[in-house]
Amino acid sequence: MPGIRPGMNVLAFGLSLAFFLSAIPARADEAFVTSQPAQMLSVVDLASRKVVATLPIPGKPAGIAVSPDGRRAFVTSPDGKALSIVDAATRSVTARVEVGGGPLGVAVHPSGSPVYVADWYQHRIVAVDAATGKVTGEVKVGDSPSGLAVTPDGKLLLSADRDSDAVSLVDTARFEKIGEVKTGKRPFGVTIDAEGRRAYTANVASNDVTVIDIAQRRVVATVPVGERPYAVALAQGRAFATNQYAGTLSVFDVESLKPLGTVTVGEYPEGIAASRDGRLIYVANWETNTLSVVDAATLKLVDDIPVADGPRAFGAFIRPTP
Q: Are 292 and 270 in contact (CB under 8 A)?
A: no
Given a contact cutoff of 8 angstroms between Cβ atoms, the answer to whether 103 and 81 are in contact is yes
The residue-averaged pLDDT of 222-249 equals 98
Residue 276 to residues 89, 236, 317, Cα–Cα distance (Å): 19, 11, 11
Model pLDDT, residue 28: 79
Mean pLDDT of 152-180: 98
Helix, strand or coil, per DSSP, at residue 17: helix
Q: Which amino acid is at 112?
A: G
Is residue 90 within 8 A of residue 108, CB to CB? The reply is no
Question: What does the alpha-carbon distance between residue 311 and residue 41 come to, in Å, rounded to a whole number?
Answer: 9
Tally helices (H) and strands (E) across the chain.
1, 29
Q: Indicate whether 162 pLDDT > 70.
A: yes
Q: What residues does each domain of the chain span?
A: 27-319
Residue 270 near residue 242 (C-beta atoms within 8 A): yes
Higher-pLDDT residue of 6 and 90 is 90
Q: What is the mean pLDDT of the chain?
A: 92
Please check the confidence at residue 225 and state whether its pLDDT lies above 90. Answer: yes
Q: Where are the beta strands (DSSP E) in 61-175?
A: 63-66, 72-77, 82-87, 92-98, 103-108, 115-119, 124-128, 135-140, 145-150, 156-161, 166-171
pLDDT tens for residues 66-123? 999 999 999 999 999 999 999 999 999 999 999 999 999 999 999 999 999 999 999 9
Residue 23 vs residue 58, higher pLDDT:
58
| Record: fold of 27-319 | Methylamine Dehydrogenase; Chain H (2.130.10)
How far apart CA 298 and CA 263 sit, in angstroms, is 10
Res 32 pLDDT > 50: yes
Give pLDDT, residue 321. 82
- Bigger pLDDT: 213 vs 322: 213
Residue 51 has pLDDT above 60, yes or no: yes
User: Of 182, 265, 269, 186, nearest to 232 (Cα)?
Assistant: 269
Q: What is the mean pLDDT of residues 220-242?
A: 98
What pLDDT is stored for residue 27 in this prediction? 58
How far apart, in whole angstroms, are the C-alpha atoms of residue 304 and residue 284?
A: 10
Cβ distance 131 to 113 under 8 Å? yes
